[in-house]
Amino acid sequence: MDKFLVIDGNSLLNRAYYAFGGRGEVGELSFGGMPTNAVYGFLNMFIKAATDLKVKYVCVAFDMRQPTFRHQMFDGYKANRHKMPDDLAVQFDQLKDILKTMQVKIYQCAGYEADDIIGTIAGQAKNVTVVNLTADRDGLQLVAPNVELHLTKTGVTNLDVWTVERIQKEYGLLPKQLIDVKALMGDKSDNIPGAAGIGEKTAVALIQKYGSVESVIESGANKKVNDCVAMVELSKKLAAINCQVPIEFQIEDCKFVFPFDDQVKKKFEQAGFKSLLRRNLWLSGVTAEQRVQPLFHDVKDESKALDEQVLPILRQMSINGIKVDVAALNALGVKLESEIAALEAEIFDLAGERFNIKSTQELSDVLQRKLGVNLTKKTKTGYSTNEEVLTQIAPNVPLAAKVLAYRGKYKLYSTYVKGYGNAVDLEGLIHTTFNLDKTATGRLSSSEPNLQNIPQRSTDSDCFRKVFVSRFANGKILSADYSQIELRLLAALSGEQSLIDGFNSGADIHRDTAEKLFGDANKRREAKTVNFGIIYGISSFGLAKDLHCGFHEAAAVIKNYFTTFPKVKAFLDHCVESAKQNGYISTMFGRRRYIPELYSNNNNVVAFATRAAMNMPMQGSAADIIKKAMVNIAKEMTERGLKSLMVLQIHDELVFNCVPEEVAVVSEIVKRQMENTVQLAVKLDVNVSVDDTL
């Protein structure tokens, strides 16, 4: 579903003012004698939210500098507010001028506040997800199935996201009932009186019990409310957002135009927004001949239609759930508890004392004080004992090896045994929520619980995967997994013929690479590390760590790789240049990822953005391919009237519950559809396995 970002202009500009050093006087945060801190902070938040959320529509609502209908109802409304600092007040017109240049729709209406306008827009915006960005908690009452509240918690970048589910979980109430809560407890910031002596805890409890202010009053159950009925009734009218503001709203007037044009750049230059100017927010200064062609520029954006088609499938998968053998899960828990206890005893024996193994400070103290280990990697709170550090010292420090084993067992126990155990319903099923819009690459995620982190098959994790079983009598679990799909996509998209030929002939691509890079086919593990590292834009430092070799040796390996596969190097370079000049990188289905961080003045941010630009065409295209396969498989299974169910997607893997008599036909459908979802220079390969468990 398309996203519509609706911003409370007054609230966000006020928050930005103080977050960026506002103090009521024109000082360092000005340009050409004009204060700019609030506008600068606002634009940073605006651009980050709009690009991170990939919004299609955006608008900003403002208060007007005159009394509202609430002031007419109650003279004391907002009477305790301090006068707005002069250096903030002058920035409103500057911001509105820039927003108009950015072609951002602005709404304001005499007699109403920005909240009322936002409520009106949220009520009229159909078939979109409305994201209300503000620093004002009043917006909680507007939250609905298609309306989220994104609150700025600290500064202007740390957000607190509220949905209907979260409000129900934390308050035990519906969003609209928060109006009644505010009517009882009042609001000091708006000078809404409420009932004297009633705080939030009591107000919430009363509304949980009686449902509304009117019912609380009717019950006569609370003396403090009884003593000020008229004031409570007035407070509710003041607290309620008016969703009937007479504005002319058309969602098509709110289309988000991005990247920006040269006129926006000129405004930023006039305001002295140097860091914004360094970001790739527009296409300027580049002629048609100079411009790098975006990847897949002749391909229509199919990703939106693809997401719409896969959404009902994901909903049904969530409803279906996946079956868990609860007895086996509990038995695994007992086994892991025993193994964890044994590891604890071994660790304490090696340390010569008991300590909190989960405490980084206590572990680093034992390693240095008792065992004489020289830890060199420091953090803000002490010396690091992360996995990388412990892995490096483990060959010579048995205690470090035992702690790594302990952490692995404890993660299986806490994340999977306990975490998933708490999510099992009375029928032994886990129903996760699949998310389409939580990742920048388009990959699916899942939550409550997260089933995307089911570990891949390994000696340690197989015991856990075995607790997932078929719901059908004598049924089977069918798992279909794309083999090396991102590496195959790299070969196809780059046009590197030797990689294409290797995949299509069924060769072991990692052994082939080992032979070409190291002159030794037995160095398959090292070649595999290089192959997959290249996809993610690995640096010489990163590869040195992974291969346990020196920096210069790793740099030579990467240089040799690109000499051996020159078209891969050219393709990855093209990805980065395309992202820099076009403002985005896309998948073969047209899904875009905007990467303005490429023009950050922070080298670490630029390095991350460069890796993202390199990887998005492969990872994003792989995500789109598996979604399309899911759509095709679901369609054919429905048309053929099959009883078997698609129950889970774990990145490149699809999982099915099969009735016994349908195992063969489902296997054939799944493999055929997954391997023929798209036609590439490299054939896709799918491994299908069938077992009693996952």
User: Residue 337 — very low, low, confident or very high, per pLDDT cuts 50/70/90?
Assistant: very high
Q: Do 346 and 248 fall into the same domain?
A: no
Q: Is 310 part of a structural domain of the chain?
A: no
- 680 in a structural domain: no
Distance, in Å, from the CA atom of 430 to the CA atom of 320, rounded to the nearest integer, reads 9
Please report, for the domain that includes residue 571, its CATH number: 1.10.150.20
Inter-residue contact 472 to 663 (CB < 8 Å) = no
Residue 29's pLDDT is 55
Spatial separation of the C-alpha atoms in residues 325 and 354, rounded to whole Å: 36
Identify whether residues 102 and 241 lie together within a single domain.
Answer: yes
Q: Do residue 225 and residue 89 come from a single domain? A: yes
**Same domain membership, residue 413 and residue 510:** no
Taking the CA atoms of residue 263, residue 266, residue 271 and residue 274 in that order, the dihedral angle to the nearest 10 degrees is 120
Position 651 pLDDT exceeds 70 = yes
- pLDDT class for 284, splitting at 50, 70, 90? very low
> Residue 226: is its pLDDT beyond 90?
no
Q: Is residue 416 one of the residues assigned to a domain?
A: yes
Q: Does the pLDDT at position 285 exceed 60?
A: no
pLDDT for the residue 31: 67
- pLDDT(509) > 70: yes
Judge if 167 and 52 occupy the same domain. yes
The Cβ of residue 253 has, within 10 Å, a number of other Cβ atoms equal to 11
Strands 147-154, 129-134: pairing is parallel
Residue 59's H or E segment, with its range, is strand 57-61
pLDDT band at residue 287 using 50, 70 and 90 as cut-offs: very low
Domain end marker among 211, 237, 254: 254
74-99: average pLDDT: 84
- Out of 610, 629, 662, a domain closes at 610
Q: What is the mean pLDDT of residues 473-501?
A: 95
Domain boundary at 387, 402, 430, which? 430
Do 234 and 348 reside in the same domain of the chain?
A: no
Model confidence at 283, pLDDT cuts 50, 70, 90, reads low
Express each pLDDT in 584-643 by its tens digit.
899 999 899 888 888 777 888 888 889 999 999 999 999 999 999 999 999 999 999 999
Q: Which domain holds residue 225?
A: 3-254
Question: What is the rounded distance in angstroms from the CA atom of residue 355 to the CA atom of residue 365?
Answer: 10
Question: Can you give the CATH number for the domain in which 38 is found?
Answer: 3.40.50.1010
Based on the domain organization, do 232 and 144 belong to the same domain? yes
pLDDT at residue 463, rounded to an integer = 76
Of 138-142, 254-258, 291-295, 306-310, minimum mean pLDDT range: 291-295
User: Phi and psi dihedrals of 181, rounded to 5?
Assistant: -60, -45
* Closest CA relative to residue 430, chosen from 487, 389, 468, 477: 468
Token pair 């009363």 in the structure block, residue: 206
Structure tokens at 26: 């024109």
The number of C-alpha atoms within 13 Å of 621 and in the hemisphere containing its C-beta is 28
pLDDT confidence of 459, banded at 50, 70, 90?
A: low
Rounded CA-CA distance 213/176 in Å is 12
Q: What is the mean pLDDT of residues 138-157?
A: 84
Tokens 């491994």: give the residue.
687
For residue 256, report the phi and psi dihedrals to the nearest 5 degrees: -85, 115
| Residue in the block written with tokens 């155990």 | 421
Query: For residue 126, is pLDDT > 70?
Result: yes
Least trusted range by pLDDT, from 280-294, 381-395, 584-598:
280-294
- Which DSSP helix (H) or strand (E) runs through 438? none
C-beta of residue 677 within 8 angstroms of C-beta of residue 629: yes
How far out from the chain centre does Cα 517 lie? 37
* pLDDT (mean) for 372-392: 83
Asked whether residue 299 is assigned to any structural domain, the reply reads: no
Residue 459 lies in a domain: no
246 and 375 in a common domain: no
15-40, pLDDT tens digit by residue? Answer: 888 877 655 444 445 666 678 889 98
**Is there a single domain that holds both residue 204 and residue 339?**
no
Q: Where are the alpha helices (DSSP H) in 104-199?
A: 114-124, 164-171, 177-185
Instruction: For residue 332, give the CATH number of its domain.
Output: 1.20.1060.10
Structurally, the chain folds into a number of domains equal to 3
Same domain, 160 and 84: yes
Residues 384 and 250 in one domain: no
The residue among 266, 214, 256 whose CA lies nearest residue 236 is 214
Residue at 329 is within a domain: yes
| Rounded Cα distance, 138 and 178, in Å | 9
